[in-house]
Amino acid sequence: MNRYRMRQPTTLMLYAGTMAVGVLIGAGIVSLPVNRSLHADNLDGVTSERVYRELSTEGSSLQEGSMLLAKIATLTTPSVVHIQSERRVQGRAKEEETGSGVILTSSKASGFFVVTNGHVIDRTPLESISIHLHDGRVLQPERVWSDAESDIAVLKIDGPNLTAAKWGDSRKIDIGHMVLAMGSPFGLSRSVTFGIISARGRRQLKLGKSEVINQDFLQTDAAINPGNSGGPLIDLQGRVIGINTAIASSSGGNEGIGFSIPSHLAQRVMDQLLELGVVPRAWIGVKLDENFDVKVATKLKLDRLHGAHVNEVFPNSPASRAGLQFDDVVLTFDGIDVQDHDHLINLVSLSPIGKQIRMTVWRGQKKIPLSIILADRSELRKTSEAPTKPNLGSPIRPMGLIVHPLNGDLAEQLGYQRTARGLLILRIDQESPLKSDLQVYDILEAVGRTPVASLDDLNSALDANSRNGSVILKIQRTAQPEARNQLVVWHR
């Protein structure tokens, strides 16, 4: 379970049951009689029996609501699974991860599939993943697809009498709508909690070490705890409108703030993984200002803080061809008001590649209309890897590295054999997925079994492995009195 840590401790003041009664009463749905009040200290046997008979025969909106929730739980429970994965972590013993998932179907492929969070099964071999069904059966997936940028994984399963849930439309869900969160918190399978949608469009969450760029979370107060990751968020029609993925917590447990990936995103990712094996994402070629604040907005003469501030426009990119400039603020994208840089990233990456988009930018205290044609994000490597400054290396953005071809002179200065060849690592970004495995002055010698001595070699090797979620890198590292080789696994 991803935990989005809060800086200040919080106290949970309202329980779902109390909230539900309050909402139902406030809306006039439940009417409680006041002329037949009872006190526990004056009930005799006859009165007790009468009250029991009344409770068993008289219906109420609250009882009907309770029956509806029970019906939804009965309908969806057979499709909710518990997932256990066991993986080896470099330099450590085996690590176990538990989570939840939901069985669904897709129009893009036949059969049954479990949708869960990518971090639940990340870096885990197929044979080390077990899927526990509601009836006690345990299955192993036949194949796994994963998309790190949305934290969605899809596992193909096969077996008799499987039951699939149905997708709902998260775009029709409003704040205040009631929902159920299902899964296996703390390994307790078939658990159901109740709450409401507290907010929509939550972004800018730091989800552990993951690089989730598509952030548009639903926020709910339905109890979500460790082990709920990957479980479904269900609406009152019994349909999946979210995949539970994280909690905001100062204690590590539920504090009434949970986050779910909306179904319109999760379903799209699932369908594209099954149809294409990857999730194509659009790209415009800019670096955005993550620290854009009121002070900067005021300096640019904006009426309020909104939009996405451009810090850099990459050469030979869609943005440069469209005329986007440094210090522009993107106000609208395809007719949608841009709230912040994460919002623009989400809008761009989920738009069709090749589509011509109209944008409005703020420049020189004026609104400027622009038109831009979106490119494939996978082409980012090829269009923006020219050295930013002479002799300072070339950025390899998917890896978060700046590298430079190694020659004999450089090799000797760094303690390598003069004949050593590869790409010298000059810088490792703070957000690089390899920052814990690589060091400055390491030599990248090979990707898989393919030697890489130039940028063209590296681009070709990365292209050849573009469909692989994990890639082996061969690294040489100086260790006096001699250099040594090691293998590193890059989880894309």
> Which 3-state string (H, E, C) describes 438-472?
CCCCCEEEEECCEECCCHHHHHHHHHHCCCCCEEE
Alpha carbon distances (Å) from 449 to 437, 452, 473: 19, 9, 9
Please give the backbone phi and psi of residue 253, each rounded to the nearest 5 degrees, phi first: -115, -175
Could you give the residue numbers annotated as active site? 119, 151, 229
In the predicted model, is pLDDT for residue 270 greater than 80? yes
pLDDT of residue 474: 92
Task: Look at the alpha carbons of 3, 338, 150, 431 in this order and tell me if their dihedral is positive or negative.
Answer: negative
pLDDT, tens only, 397-420: 778 888 889 888 788 777 788 888
- The confidence band for 206, taking pLDDT boundaries of 50, 70 and 90, is low
The region of weakest confidence among 202-206, 255-259, 266-270 is 202-206
The region of weakest confidence among 29-38, 189-198, 355-364, 432-441 is 29-38
In the predicted model, is pLDDT for residue 103 greater than 90? yes
Question: How far is 273 from 269, CA to CA, in rounded Å?
Answer: 6
DSSP E strand boundaries for 107-209: 109-117, 129-132, 138-139, 143-147, 152-157, 178-183, 191-202
Same-fold call for 282-378 versus 389-491: yes
- The confidence band for 459, taking pLDDT boundaries of 50, 70 and 90, is confident
Taking residues 150-169, what's their average pLDDT?
94
Mean residue pLDDT of the chain comes to 81
Whether pTM > 0.75 for this model: the answer is no
Going by CATH, does the domain composed of 389-491 fall within 2.30.42.10?
A: yes
282-378 has which CATH code?
2.30.42.10
Ordered DSSP codes for 277-322: SS---EE--EEE-TT--HHHHHHTT-SSS-SEEEEEE-TTSHHHHH
Tokens of 3: 């935990």
In the predicted model, is pLDDT for residue 422 greater than 70? yes
Count of CA atoms in the C-beta half-sphere (13 A) of 207: 29
Identify the residue with better confidence: 253 or 167. Answer: 167
In the predicted model, is pLDDT for residue 392 greater than 70? no
Taking residues 140-156, what's their average pLDDT?
92
In the predicted model, is pLDDT for residue 101 greater than 90? yes
| Nearest residue to 238 via CA among 190, 182, 197, 191 | 182
Buried/exposed code over 371-405 (b: 16+ C-beta within 10 A; e: otherwise): ebebbebbebbebbbeeeeeeebbbbebbbbbbbb
Is residue 211 within 8 Å of residue 492, measured between CB atoms? Answer: no
CATH topology of domain 1-7+77-279: Thrombin, subunit H (2.40.10)
Taking residues 54-73, what's their average pLDDT?
82
pLDDT of residue 142: 94
Amino acid at 212: V
pLDDT of residue 287: 86
Taking residues 343-358, what's their average pLDDT?
91
Q: What's the longest Cα–Cα distance across the chain? A: 100
- Any idea where the domains of the chain sit in the sequence? 1-7+77-279, 282-378, 389-491
Question: How far is 346 from 203, CA to CA, in rounded Å?
Answer: 10
Question: How far is 388 from 315, CA to CA, in rounded Å?
Answer: 10
Q: Where are the alpha helices (DSSP H) in 112-164?
A: 118-121
Taking residues 149-158, what's their average pLDDT?
93
Please give the backbone phi and psi of residue 3, each rounded to the nearest 5 degrees, phi first: -120, 125
pLDDT, tens only, 320-342: 999 999 899 999 999 999 999 88
Identify the residue with better confidence: 361 or 479. Answer: 361
